[in-house]
Structure 1
Amino acid sequence: MKPIRLPEPPSPTSRGVPDIFEVGFLGAFIRRAVVIGNGSPSSENQSLGLVRALGLADKHVLYRVTRPKGGINEWLHWLPVSFHKILYYLIKQIILLTSRRKKLSPLPSENGGHGLGLASVLEADVKHIVGMARDTFEKDGPLLVVASGRDTISIASSIRRLASQNVFVVQIQHPRSNLNRFDLVITPQHDYYPLTPHAQQQIPQFLRRWITPREPPDRHVVLTIGALHQIDSAALRSAASAWHDEFAPLPKPLLVVNIGGPTRNCRYGADLARQLSTFLLSVLASCGSVRISFSDRTPEKVSYIIAKELGNNPNVYIWDGLEPNPQMGHLAWADAFVVTADSVSLISEACSTGKPVYVMGAERCTWKLSEFHKSLRERGVVRPFTGSEDMSETWSYPPLNDTAEAARRVNEALAERGWRLRL
């Protein structure tokens, strides 16, 4: 029998290290990631953007924390997700009993969605993810967990509590309290607006203890300017190639208009739509082409006014909402952008291109969203849209690079723990 020959220990001058010595000499390697989402495209895009920037785009699994939807559920979204599911179950059973249907449905598990009429998704389950992290640690190394959004907080923090030696947990967006439940928190600077003297003047004394965050960021909090996303130079080059046939023939300059929808801190309606239409008609003379996109949140009255005022112009194209979504093509080929002030995500993506970004309706925003727009204006990244712009004139700025900076900080935090990514 041929004897088994073990690899020789690395010499001081050796350029490589055999796999058998990797953990012992250089610390553990992270080879895969788990993304925990809440079904919101803007939230999940942040997690996926970070995973992509870390080089794990093809080495991650997406789980979701889901809620029951429709009917009374739209009024229960302010509740913690587990309590929401139980309360909906009880309401459902009462309806079944009062309608003389005596058979009860099984009580859903804490993380599962059985019996709730939810879409079939890979449900985020703490026990499953913790078990996977522990069982595969020796073979595959630690597990990177990236979560974003309010509904993911309890799941991500539970995973870290139960498997702290096997996982590195990153929570995106401020988790409101107890930041030490996570290995790293990535959140925009404007989330800390409640701590500023100006914001304190707006908060009654008896409410201040309920406003988050309650203390300044510590060393394991990464502050960004805007939202994380998947846009970088490589993605833009790929999109430019993929959308070449559609966008290259368009007359220049190309103005892309992204319209979101009103939010609690940025309220508007038909009045803003009429104003935006007037401003766009004013700049058409200096535009070669205009492409307009609405989001899922755009009210019908807003999209109707825009379409009525601009839809018949031969130089204006309004995306009909059908796939494929042209957003990546817009980012790659646009010469300038107009974005409604409500969407931090859309503005952050546009500002990552270094091209002119005009914001519509920022004066209607309040609270921390107003602080976000103020920070962008002070950096020279955006300008208000007034309708008097000459779109043939251009200006630039250093592109926002929040996602790459966040990825760098994740790598630093991993190194402090003795871990690193292996791509």
Structure 2
Amino acid sequence: MRPRGTVNEWLHWLPVSVHKKVDNVIRRIYDDSRCFLGKKVMPVLVEDGGKNVGLLNVLEADANQIAKMARDTFDRDGPLLVVASGRDTISVASSIRQLAPDNVFVVQIQHPRLNLNRFDLVITPCHDYYPLTPEAQEQIPWFLRSWITPREPPDSNVVLTVGALHQADSAALRIAASLWHDELALLLKPMLVVNIGGPTRNCQYGEDLAKQLTEMLRNVLWSCGSLRISFSRRTPEKVSKILLKEFSANAKVYIWDGRGPNPHMGHLAWADAFVITADSVSMLSEACSTGKPVYVVGAERCTWKFAEFQKSLHERGVVRPFTGKEDVCNQLSHNDHVLCCCFT
């Protein structure tokens, strides 16, 4: 995983291979500084008391070693399946396929923003191809259009999904239901779970949306047996404070404070309905795959391909805008006719 804090907040967009080179430079500078200044050097790039310097926490797979293993085991086991996800893995995954093209099958999850024939299979959300639509082309200045990816429609080695891939399948939910049974099974029904993410460049919000959400939840609370609220690591304090002030003393409401086991999977298994902020593709994808009612807050604030994602969910009937006028008891089955498992 990527290191957090200090200079790393400005380097998260770099590929892992570049991170490694930057890390070497940072460590060299740091070591030289220690030699020259002694222990008085300020640990600007150091975390955990100096145990982790610069970007030492960044992990990178060894493409040569994986390719060699694929060649060595091919006669016995057949092609080695390599599954990579996210932009940090793109260079490694494509290198593995280049080094052992006949001995591996490389799957890249999320659009790699480069030549797709470097991979055997690419799995990516439909909204990643939004730049090719007429609506998107109108938003892009003509001199930038050739730089926006993807530039070509999906090829035969591309599998499109409506949302993000996730682990919340029926088997995982059965396990979560068992693990969280003692804590959640006896809560009054219906249970409404509220998942709050955080503002992004393409879905901006702040205290205004938090106040709006607070008012709407107050209006539907009468129709809920229990209400459970979870914040993400991206939730601004100014947003969480508003909901905490309103609901922390309410006996019907539980707010997860980030301490102890994360109840997210338990919530997916035991909730009767969800209210989710529009910024999180992952949380929406997981909740919609349960087949339970999902209400969205702030979808009108989404722009670019994320607005397209919201539109696709609405057209499929798997989400509704949250208005604060819902009777949660009487609206638990609006998703029953939709087959949304895995969003394929």
Among 16, 28, 33, the residue aligned to 1:81? 16
Supply the distance in 1 between the matched residues of 2:56 and 2:324 (Cα, whole angstroms). Answer: 45
- Name 2:114's counterpart in structure 1: 177
When the two chains are superposed, the root-mean-square deviation of aligned CA atoms in Å is 2.0
Secondary structure, aligned partner of 2:166: coil
Supply the distance in 1 between the matched residues of 2:247 and 2:3 (Cα, whole angstroms). Answer: 38
Structure possessing the higher relative contact order (Cα contacts under 8 Å, 6 or more residues apart): 1
Give the conservation status (yes or no) of the 8 Å contact 2:296–2:322: yes
1:252 aligns with 2:192: no
Once the two structures are superposed, residues 163-200 of structure 1 have per-residue CA deviations (whole angstroms, 9 ceiling, x without a partner) of 11111111011111200000000000000000000000
Amino acid at match of 1:85: K
1:366-385 to 2 correspondence within 5 Å? Answer: 366-385=303-322
Give the conservation status (yes or no) of the 8 Å contact 1:348–1:400: no
Once the two structures are superposed, residues 220-264 of structure 1 have per-residue CA deviations (whole angstroms, 9 ceiling, x without a partner) of 110100001112222222222222221121111100001111111
Secondary structure, aligned partner of 2:97: helix
Secondary structure, aligned partner of 1:169: strand
- Name 1:155's counterpart in structure 2: 92
Give the conservation status (yes or no) of the 8 Å contact 1:156–1:169: yes
Once the two structures are superposed, residues 330-353 of structure 1 have per-residue CA deviations (whole angstroms, 9 ceiling, x without a partner) of 111111000000000000000011
> Mean alpha-carbon deviation: is it higher for 132-141 or for 367-376?
132-141
Instruction: List gaps (5 residues or longer) in structure 1.
Output: 1-38, 40-66, 104-113, 406-423
Deviation at residue 134 of structure 1 after TM alignment: 1.5
Among 118, 134, 139, the residue aligned to 2:56? 118
Aligned structure 1 segments of 4 or more residues deviating by more than 4 angstroms: 114-117
Deviation at residue 99 of structure 1 after TM alignment: 5.8
Among 282, 304, 328, the residue aligned to 1:345? 282
Supply the distance in 2 between the matched residues of 1:118 and 1:94 (Cα, whole angstroms). Answer: 14
- Name 2:146's counterpart in structure 1: 209
Distance 1:117 1:73, change over 3 A: closer
Among 110, 128, 138, the residue aligned to 1:191? 128
Supply the distance in 2 between the matched residues of 1:245 and 1:292 (Cα, whole angstroms). Answer: 19
Supply the distance in 2 between the matched residues of 1:122 and 1:175 (Cα, whole angstroms). Answer: 19
Instruction: List gaps (5 residues or longer) in structure 2.
Output: 39-51
Supply the distance in 2 between the matched residues of 1:143 and 1:179 (Cα, whole angstroms). Answer: 19
Supply the distance in 1 between the matched residues of 2:273 and 2:316 (Cα, whole angstroms). Answer: 17
Once the two structures are superposed, residues 85-135 of structure 1 have per-residue CA deviations (whole angstroms, 9 ceiling, x without a partner) of 3234324434544565399xxxxxxxxxx974534x864111221122112
Amino acid at match of 1:401: C
Give the conservation status (yes or no) of the 8 Å contact 1:172–1:187: yes
Secondary structure, aligned partner of 1:226: coil
Size of the aligned set, in residue pairs, is 328
